[in-house]
Structure 1
Amino acid sequence: MGQRTVIRTRRRRRWKTAVPRRAAAGLVILALAVLFPPRADARDLVVQSAFPSGMAAFSESERRISEGVESLTGGSLTLRFVGAGGIVEPQHLLEAVREGAVPVGFDWMGYHADRVPLGGLVGSMPFGPTPRELSGWLYAGGGLSLLERGYARLGIVVLPCDMLPSAAGGWFKTEIRSVEDFKGLRIRIAGLGAEVLERLGSESSQEPVAQIYNALEEGRLDAVEFAAPLVDQSFGFHHFTKYYYFPGWHQPASLNILLVNRDVWDSLKEGERAALRKTCRENVLLGLAEGVARQTEAVDAAVARGIEVRRFPDPVLARLRAVSREVVAEAASRDPLAADALASLSEYVEQARRWSALQALPR
């Protein structure tokens, strides 16, 4: 029989209601093993996603990752993705991987600001790098090494594994004509962008993905920010909003990652680790290549449904940028590694943009 999916870590620090969650985790993984029995010589790992099963873009990435790893290892390692809440609630995913209750997680880095300041900073940097700039920094500018150090503190191996296009600016029930319109606005937004809007008077919240629609329907939210248009369109936000704003100032790049429990990682064969790294890197590059055209199609679909697509006014963007600089600087100052990452990333982006400016052709 194949090796067991869950390998307990040596550290046993519990989080709230840990025992019930671990019991539930065991039942879910056992059920998956019965439904999808692995080969006798195969290693079968359950990967819990922070996103609901079947969500556009995310589910495609999960499929590519699973197929890529299985192909490169000749079937000796397989990944079984389960959707948000399949083992633990999404907000507990990082801790569950650290403890070993979940062997592997698939998550957005911006959710980890409290535990991994570097991850929160890089994953949700307002007015930060573009997807291409962020991927360049990770793979050619020393960023990956810094990222690995940040998660290693928790006993987690991190693999950048999915790059989405820039997020939209959000779905709004009312117009945004000036920064005054943010005062009292109840908006679902995650990451450092939430802190920026709070400083401008908004009331931010981070409803789990599955609850956003109901919050809009019940009138508990005035606006919603979630992801890029291709992902957004599957949620039906257009039923309760009138305006779709751009640009996604709060999240120009969106990086999703695989979180692998350190003991699980150490138990893998070297070829299996290499397969995970290679598959994730290829998936990031594929996301860069195919993402843009599909986003414009989704924007066109929103217009066809009666949504008004707008850009935030330039004075609004200028004020958002000024406040964002303060928030980013403060976030970096809370952790030396985050400060190093911000300095490294800023230097890389400056060099990349100098080159782009030199090569820019008139349009």
Structure 2
Amino acid sequence: MRKTVIGIIAGVVAGVVIGTTLVGPRLVLNPTPAPNAKQPPAAPAKEPVTAALPLAGTQLAGLAATRWRLAAAYNRSLPQVGELADRVETVLWRISGGGFELKAYPPGKLAPTDRILDAVAAGTVDAAFITPEALAARNTALQLFAGAPFGPSARARLAWTYFGGGRELANRMFNKLGVQALPCGALAPEAGGWFRAQVRTVEDLGGLRIRMGGLGARVMEKLGAIPKNLKAEDIFVALENGELDAVSFSMPAVDAQLKLNDMARFYYFPGWQRPATLFHLVINLDRWRALSAVRKAQLETVCGDAVRDALASSEAVQFAALKDLTAKGVVISRWPTEVMAALKAAWREVVSEENAQNPDFREVWEALTAFERDFDIWRELATY
């Protein structure tokens, strides 16, 4: 299965065959999910405080209530990604019996999105829900805690984060900035991107205006592309105005709900720029240290649950989204071998530059790749 070449027979759907690869007809058949297919549940509404205090009379009843404000980096309307902060708010409220409120506010409400970390560190905001990629301006090494081009899978990343020293290394760097970070959500691999024209050679990337951010954008620049880091709400307008030739955004289920297929037809895989995404709850360091052991355990438990729920639910819905996109005429292909090789080579250049310029980046990269090398031996032995 790992070596299966994915392509698409689009004779029924789009009327073309892409190169020599064939995307299985299984994507064309049954384009909608089966009637009993389970969909990710939306976060339920919080109960009133009076209905949420089953712990009165126990040892927890003596804890002072904690009321925090949470700055979310993603709009609630953004499928899957935008729901994560609300779910954390709701589940924390429930397991604490209403004693711990982490009220989520939309982007820009509590602090400008590009100053979220400053606001949390200063204590004007208690916490923020982000991917460390958003903090690259403070330290490029922080991006590696969220995901990295050609980096480890979610399975390997979580193993490194929780039991390979990744979490401790992250907080050594985050603590210097005045915050504590908890892994608090994970997502399936992204797609490689939407393109208005086919990508057959490396030369096709030259001059290509693509929506892409983070370390992936650095890689694209090496190959002559022109990356633009646009917000989700600005992408469609940029496509309509002819300001973009391609878009790299998220997973198929998210991309489909944003209707990116209305503006671009060619959809490439894999998402080399983000094989896994790890979100973090970033907390003012003084407030974190002042929390009781019980409150810390509640936060860590809820965030661990958020990792499980978000990763499992995001993996579960991608195939149905791909079938639906195929039925709408989207051409799904794997990157040409030549292009993937060039992207990997460009990524190695970016890593070399960052390692030379930023000791923190080098430290994180060496720790991550050393763990991944050992993990890959285990993975090969354990995989049939």
Shorter chain as denominator, the TM-score bin is 0.7 to 0.9
Residues 1:317 and 2:340 aligned together: yes
Q: Per-residue displacement from partner, 1:176-205 (whole Å, max 9, x unpaired)?
A: 111101111111101111011111111111
Q: Give, in whole Å, the separation in 1 of the partners of 2:76 and 2:149.
A: 28
Rounded to whole Å, the distance in 2 between the matches of 1:118 and 1:262 is: 19
Compare 151-160 and 205-214 and name the one that shifted more: 205-214
Q: Which runs of 5+ in 2 are unaligned?
A: 1-46, 54-63
1:241 is paired with a residue whose SS is coil
Partner residue, 1:98: 121
Matched residue SS, 2:109: coil
Which residue of structure 1 lines up, in the alignment, with residue 109 of structure 2? 86
Partner amino acid, structure 1, of 2:192 = G
Where does structure 1 differ by over 4 angstroms across 4 or more consecutive aligned residues? 36-41
Once the two structures are overlaid, the 10-residue window that deviates more, 118-127 or 344-353, is: 118-127
Normalized against structure 2, the TM-score is what? 0.80
Of 247, 251, 269 in structure 2, the residue corresponding to residue 228 of structure 1 is 251
SS at match of 1:285: helix
Indicate the larger mover: 93-102 or 339-348.
93-102
| 1:125 alignment partner in structure 2 | 148
Per-residue CA deviations over 1:246-265 (Å, capped at 9, x if unaligned) read 10011111111111112332
Look up the match of 1:21.
none
CA contact (8 A) 2:198 2:266 kept: yes
Aligned to 1:171: 194
The answer for the alignment partner of 2:166 in structure 1 is: 143
Match of 1:241 in 2: 264
Give the deviation of 1:166 after TM superposition: 0.8
TM-score between the two structures when normalised by the length of structure 1: 0.85
Aligned to 1:217: 240
Of 87, 97, 106 in structure 2, the residue corresponding to residue 64 of structure 1 is 87
Q: Is 2:99 the partner of 1:76?
A: yes
Equivalent residues of 1:124, 1:191 under 8 A apart: no
Q: Distance in 2 between matches of 1:256 and 1:60?
A: 12
**Structure of greater Rg:** 2
- 130, 135, 146: which one aligns with 1:107: 130
Q: How far, CA to CA, are the matches of 1:132 and 1:333 in structure 2? A: 29
- Asked if structure 2 preserves the Cα contact closer than 8 Å seen for 1:185 and 1:223, the reply is yes
Give yes or no for contact 2:76–2:83 (8 Å, CA) kept in 1: no
2:207 to 180, 184, 188: 184
d(CA) in 2 for partners of 1:261 and 1:51?
19
- The one-letter amino acid paired with 2:65 is A
Q: Quote the residue 2:71 is aligned against.
A: 48
Cα deviation digits, residues 72-91 of structure 1 (max 9, x gap): 32211112112222223322
* Alpha-carbon distance in 1 for matches of 2:305, 2:355: 29
1:204 correspondence with 2:227: yes
> Residues 264 and 210 of structure 1: is their aligned pair in 2 closer, same or farther, counting only changes over 3 Å?
farther
Secondary structure at the aligned position of 2:148 is classed as coil
Give aligned-pair identity as a percent.
34
Deviates more, 1:117-126 or 1:74-83: 117-126
Alignment match of 1:278 (pick from 296, 301, 314): 301
- What SS does the aligned partner of 2:216 have? helix
